[in-house]
Structure 1
Amino acid sequence: MEVETMLYRHPDIAVAVVVAYPDERLGERACAIVVTKPGHRIDLPSIVAFMKEQKIAVQYIPEKLIVRDAMPTTPTGKIQKFRLRQMLADGEI
């Protein structure tokens, strides 16, 4: 996905995924879930500014950010997006 590729280019981000989360009005919205590089911090305004600098269309910019220490993965290391979506829907993250 183009948005995830863009997030990986951010100097503070080590791992990034974008998943949908439920929204009453629109059905769903985009949420960026990231793991930062050691010693780095990030917030949603800096991601929005970075993506605007990269000329990405505004409608593709995530509306929510969650910073985690690690992502749920399969035994082979693939990120389990379905688990992240379920955790968002259940309010666990």
Structure 2
Amino acid sequence: MDEDGYIRITGRTKDVVIRGGENIPVVEVENLLYRYPGIIDVALVGCPDERLGERVCAYVTLDENSTDLTLDDVKTYLIQEKLSKSYLPEYLEVIEAMPRTASGKIQKFKLREQAKEVRLEPAKRG
């Protein structure tokens, strides 16, 4: 609980991003992105946002044959897969490797911390 009396859910139970009061189902989006050619790993986390609470950030790792992936590529693919536009990621970070536990699980809390430190610019709306 923070100083204002709000409770924030963190850790493994935090598999939704809450953007402007809407719950974004992270697993649904991740499962679609795992099918995208060239993507090896995916993790969606919430990036802090003053106005909406959180925005959706997709962290991905690519195979050695994939050198370029843009947020527009990801959005186009997800729309073609019939994902609701309100669930689309607003940021994309391509990283070399996901932070993992000793048992191999992605450590999303580390990605959330990274998202806080990096001032990401939201994609321009078209």
Q: Above 0.5 in TM-score?
A: yes
Q: Percent identity at matched positions? A: 42
Separation of aligned partners in 2, 1:78 and 1:15 = 11
The list of structure 1 runs, each at least 4 consecutive aligned residues, that deviate by more than 3 angstroms after superposition, is none
TM-score, reference length from structure 2: 0.71
Which one of the candidate residues 86, 89, 103 is aligned to 1:62? 89
The answer for the alignment partner of 2:19 in structure 1 is none
Separation of aligned partners in 1, 2:34 and 2:59 = 11
TM-score, reference length from structure 1: 0.95
3-state secondary structure, aligned to 1:28: strand
- Shift in Å, 1:12: 1.8
Gaps of at least 5 residues in structure 1 are: none
Map 1:48-59 to 2 at 5 A: 48-59=75-86
Which one of the candidate residues 17, 24, 28 is aligned to 2:50? 24
Flag the structure with more relative contact order, 1 or 2, with Cα contacts below 8 A and sequence separation at least 6: 1
- Shift in Å, 1:5: 0.1
Q: Deviations over 1:26-73 (max 9, x none)?
A: 010000000011120211000000000000000111000000000110
- Shift in Å, 1:9: 0.6
RMSD (CA atoms): 1.3
The answer for the alignment partner of 1:43 in structure 2 is 70
- Shift in Å, 1:92: 8.2
Separation of aligned partners in 1, 2:73 and 2:118 = 24
3-state secondary structure, aligned to 2:114: helix
Aligned residues: 93
The answer for the alignment partner of 1:80 in structure 2 is 107
